[in-house]
Each structure stands twice: as structure tokens, then as C-alpha cells.
Structure 1
Amino acid sequence: MASALTAYDVPEIRARMTEWARDPGTDGAGNWFRFFVGPRPDDSAGEPAFPPLDDVGATITDTLRAQLPAAELFYVSADLTDLASHAATTLADYRLHPEDLPAPVGFLVYEHPPVAGTASARHDAVSVVSWGLGRGGLWVQAWGAVPDPEPPAVEVGRGLARLSRDYALSQMRKAAALNLPLPTPGNKPASHDDTVDHGAKHILATFLRNAERAPIPPSFAPPHGYEWCGVTPMLFTDMKGWPSSLAEGTSAVDIDAQIALQRTILTTWLLLGQTLVRSEHTRAPRAARRPPPYRTLRPRPRHSRPPRRPPARPHHARRPIPGRRRRGHPRIPPQLGRARPLAQAVLPEPR
């Protein structure tokens, strides 16, 4: 089991991802997205962020290359992670507004994954979220740690990457011609060696289409240690709530897990604007390159008071300046404010 992330890990994780996003080689983000995502995934149809002639993989890469270095950094403590997960269960559909975001461009790391069951066969549960404005609205991208030990697909993929491209493609085409079903307990071969061989051939066939459009990435999993788990382009003006659409054929269990994750991220953003969250500005260790400041976020202690507000100004002094848009505090849905267990756990006792 991977150890919990600390606040000092945040700048290093972001730096590794930024380097990967800028890498033009076969192990960089551009080739990784060409291989795994391609120009037009089936589940991108109808997304306003991806016009019909768009190269989806290239668009995602360009967005990450621009947003990761500019992102404001956040670290969410285990207590606040658990609080957000619990509060998300009371959150009904909510229209997101730009002022609800803790920063226009952000990179947020949870001390531990906030929602179980958001893993696929190739990555662990989501623990990192990045966001920023992109074509079609707000882009929210989720990342999961590559598990240790790594999945068999990663080992097979790295083995293929060491072969010549022509030979690797010939082996993958032979495997695809066998038309083997996905290994399951019902069609499991008799011996262990045959089971391994069956699984390897199925992986070869699965990635044939990918290898025909781009070189196989040498690391197969991104070298910074986090798998990209998807992007959710959202329109502020046309969204009655999260989650967004999910691909057809997704199981009910996976849909429930993704809904819980997306609502937890949204709830985390809303909580960051409340007095019940304590924000600490932190700097990375001296040894880190160009240590950027970042914020560690924790629930405010139960008996601490929120900061005093300055005396109210006269009514006439608070009129908005003509031509300038007033920006209010992030709105929090009333159902969160009504959650008695949540309020009792984090707000000071009334006097």
C-alpha cells in the first residue's frame, strides 16, 4: 500500500508532471496521449471542447503544457479529505460558478484518495486533481498513482517498447488474429503458464490499434508516477450539476464511484472558501528547484474562532463601482450548511 502524500510532495509532483507535459520525445505527454487517447475517442463525441476535426490527444497535451506550470498549489489534509467525502453525500445538483473555484488554475493533492473504487486495472484511486479554463469551459483532470507492484499490462508494454516497431506490430497482429476473449475465471486455462500467455496475448491485441498510430511509450505508464484518469470539460452556463456524461457500457458500480469522486471534488472547492477551513501558506524545502508557495488546507479546530470581520462601512460606501463586476464569496449550497453533523464537527460552539 502506498504511503500517504505530504504537503512537501506537492511541488515535486507538479514539477514532474510539467516536465512530462513539455517532453517532445516518445516518453512525453504528446506521444502518451497519441498512443492512449488518439485523435478521436468514441466517448468524446458531442463534447463542445472537442470539435469533430480536433485531435483530442494533442488538445489535452497543449492544455496541460500551459496550465500545469501556472497552477496554484493546494494540499488537502486527511481530515479535510474525509470531511469533503462525507459532505459530498448531502450535495444535490449544484450549478458551478467561476467564483466557486479556489483558484482559476489549480493543482490539488489529497493526502489520501478521497473515494475508493475509482481505480481501473492500470492505476490506483484518484488522489490528484488539476483544473483550468479550456475550450468549452472548465477542464478538470484527475490523476491516480501507479500502484506498486505495477500491473501486468505495464510490464508487457515496456517489453514491447524495447522491440523494433515492425516486430512489435507483427506480434500484436498475430495475437489479435487469435481473437482471444478477456481472461475470466470461466475461461481460465488449466496451467499458470497458459494463463500468463493468454493474458499477454490479450494485452497485445488490445493495444494493437494504439501502436499503429503512435510509438509505444518506453515507460508505458507516465514516468512521473501518476496515470491520467480522464478530463471533464464543463460549461459554467450550461451545467445543472456534476457529474458529466459517462461512457456507455460503464457499470453501475463504476458510475456510482465516479459520481462520488466528482461530487467530492466539487465539495472540496466549496469548502475551501468557508471559515471552517484553515489555510496555511507553505514553502517547499530549500533543495527543491524554484520552490513555489502552496497552501495546506485543514478543518479549523472546533473551539477556534473565525477571523473578526472589520466594522461595516456606511451603506453608501459599499455601492459597486460602475462598470466593475462585484465578486462575492464562493457560494455554498444550503444543504451543506444544514448538515448538523458536519457543522457540529468543525464550527466553534455557540456562546
Structure 2
Amino acid sequence: MKYVDEYRNGKLASAIAATIRAEARPEQSYRFMEFCGGHTHAIARYGLEDLLPENVRMIHGPGCPVCVLPVGRMDDAIKLAQRPDVTLCTYADLMRVPSSNGMSLLKAKAAGADIRMVYSTLDALRIAREEPARKVVFFAIGFETTTPPTAIALLNAQSEGLKNFFVFCNHVLTPAAIQNILESPDVRELGLIRIDGFIGPAHVSVVIGAGPYEFFAEEFQKPVVIAGFEPLDVMQAVLMLVRQVNDGRYEVENEYIRAVTPEGNLKAQDMVSRIFELRDTFEWRGLGQVPYSALKLREEFSAFDAEKVFDIRTVPAKDNPACECGAILRGVKKPTDCKLFGTLCTPETPMGSCMVSSEGSCAAHWTYGRFRDAKQERQAS
């Protein structure tokens, strides 16, 4: 295959689905968690769950970086942006994430804060060069995929001697979150979630490779299949997981061979390790404090570290108590289990982060899944 539309061939998807139905044992149930928000979006957009047999179900995990950012860090960003000498640069999908008091970056911008949406870290660097009187802070978030661009920006700022460019670092790490889920009471003690295998993230794995997932296959005896974002990628990954479960195997397999290698992007890994180091702990929305799950700037780059320069001290804050975003991120609940979904909480008026980003479970279900729900209700009646 050479072109994207070839990975969206409906006949091939139906053929893979037929193979899954034939090989999934009727006396057994299969529960697979897709960690990446891109997979969640693809599953909802292409109606892939409708192609799967009833005993093969998908669980949506905390794979949306906007969704897992804790409320306290949003509070920090808003306070930073409200400083008269600061220009805060951020990606667009962070603009509407609610903070603890109902404020958002979009509302803060409307109230006069200098907040600018950018497409890349290089846009923030350009603003810092063009406006030397402003203190330009890049609000850095994301998994391993978006960390290298932040590293490049910091290296450029250092080489150019920029004194007015800073990074508010919120980069988090995928493997630590997967381990947290597998060790959580929801999985081990309460039995609220049963996970038989994982669909490994695509772009993250391009950077870190397939190696880091070996631990989960060996230690927790959970098969992992790394998959691309297209519907055929996801369907093939589900088939590969079904086969592993049937065979009693716990291996890391790579469906996304056109982009992912065992070792990953070594140049990107080296650059990231030169600039960043592990935090002892970091809060994830829905997961709580997760040890060694996030990055911070090394001392060598402390002059660019917004947390140190502006003395940011995060105060833990709680989500809206009526919002089920935390439980949805853990896979304990579905978007429709939340009383706010589709009523008070919509993409236009999000009450929780899962409804903000297009990769969030609630936003994906609002855009695609609710129409399937309505159809099923009509058929049942």
C-alpha cells in the first residue's frame, strides 16, 4: 500500500472483521485498551466497534495529552498568561480546557491576557525574536511525540542567546501511564477494568520504538500490538491481539512497520535526554500522581525554565465534581455514563477536558458515536 485511502478500504475492513469474528472464541470475551487518542478518534470516526463481534470490546485509555493535563497546571498557565509582561504561546486545543474556577485560556485572552495560538514551537521562537520586550512562554504539552520539537526550540534559543524565551514544560511519558493503569486498584483489586491487551500508540512509538513495551508483555503478561491510525491498522491490530490471546502469548508485535522500528528514533531520543530529565512524580488527570511519568528541563537549561524563572508552584485542584472525565480516562466509564455529556457538556461548552480535544473520548463520541447510539435505540424500539 502506498496511499492513505488504501488503509481506509471498506471491503478490506469487512474482510478483517469477518476473520476476527471467525477466530474470536464465542465462550471468551476480549477487552483491549487503545492508549492513543488518535486510535480512539479513528474507532469512533469509522465505526470500527460496529464491525467487531459482541465479545470483542475496546476500552478507551488516557491517550489524549490535553485530557490528562491536571487542573492545577491549567491554573498555572492562566496565572502566567495574566502577567502583564508575559506572552503565552499555546496550541489551539488547550484554549478551551476549563480550570478550577471555570476560567480558560480563551476566556483569559478575551479578558486581555496576551495569549497566542501557534502551530509549532518555532512560531513561539519567532515571536520571541520579533518582540524582545516581551517574555514569551511556550506552553509545552504532549507525549514523546511532541517533546523533540520542544527540545529543538530550546537548542535554538540557547544558540541564539535569546533571553526572553521560556518553556512551561508539561511533557509526559506513555510507558509510565500504562504501568500505572495495570497496577491500579481498578485493574488489580476492584476488578472495574479487565484489560486483555493493548493497542500501542503510533506516533509515540515512532520516537521511542517498540522496546519499552516489552516490560508490559513480560511482567504483566499483556500482549501489545503497535498500530497506525488508519481503520485497517486498528482492525489488523485487534486481529493480532485476538490471536495472541487465543494462543496464550504475551508479546510485542508491530503492525505499524511502515513507521515504527524496534529502537525508534535514536537521534530524537538523544536530543531529548540531553535537555530533559525525569520528574520524581507528576499528576495526571484521572490517574493521580504517577512516579517518573513526566519531564523537566535539566539545570543547564534552567534559564529557559518558566517554572523556575516565574517561581511556579502548582497547587493541586479538583475537577468539576459532576464531570466523569477522570473515570473515563481510566477506562472505568464511558462518555455516556456522565450525566453532563451532551447536555451541559458539549464541544462548544466543555465542562471537562475529554470534550475539548478532538482526541478526547467524549469529543470523539459526541462527533461520531452518539449517532450510532441513536440508531441503535431506534432499532431496539
Same topology, TM > 0.5: no
Q: Under a length normalisation based on structure 1, what TM-score does the superposition of the two structures give?
A: 0.23
Structure exhibiting the larger radius of gyration computed from Cα positions:
1
